[in-house]
Amino acid sequence: MFNSTIVAVSLVIGGIILILIDKKLVGQKSKTIALEDISYKNAFFIGLIQCFSMIPGVSRAAATSSWCI
C-alpha cells in the first residue's frame, strides 16, 4: 500500500472529490448538525468511510465530507 502510484492516484481522486463538493456547495449556506442529531446508522457509515484514510494519500476529512453531502 505504500506505493507511490497508489498515493498519487489517491491524491488525484481526493482532489477531484473536493472540487466536486466545492462546486456543489457554492452559494449554499453551511449547516451544522449537532452531535445528538446524528443517527447511529450515519455515525457507522461515517466511521466506515474514514477507514479509507488508511490508504496513503486519502484525506479523512475529504472522505467524510463526501459521505455527508
Q: In this predicted model, what pLDDT tens digit does every residue of 15-67 receive, in sequence order?
A: 888 788 778 777 777 677 788 888 899 888 888 877 877 777 676 666 666 55
Taking the C-alpha atoms of residue 69 and residue 65, their distance in angstroms, rounded to an integer, is: 6
CB 1 within 8 A of CB 55: yes
Which percentage of the chain shows pLDDT scores above 70? 75
CB 63 within 8 A of CB 50: yes
Model pLDDT, residue 69: 52
Which percentage of the chain shows pLDDT scores above 90? 1
Taking the C-alpha atoms of residue 23 and residue 46, their distance in angstroms, rounded to an integer, is: 22
Number of domains in the chain: 1
Q: What is the pTM of this model?
A: 0.55
Domain that holds residue 36: 4-68
Taking the C-alpha atoms of residue 9 and residue 43, their distance in angstroms, rounded to an integer, is: 27
CB 63 within 8 A of CB 53: yes
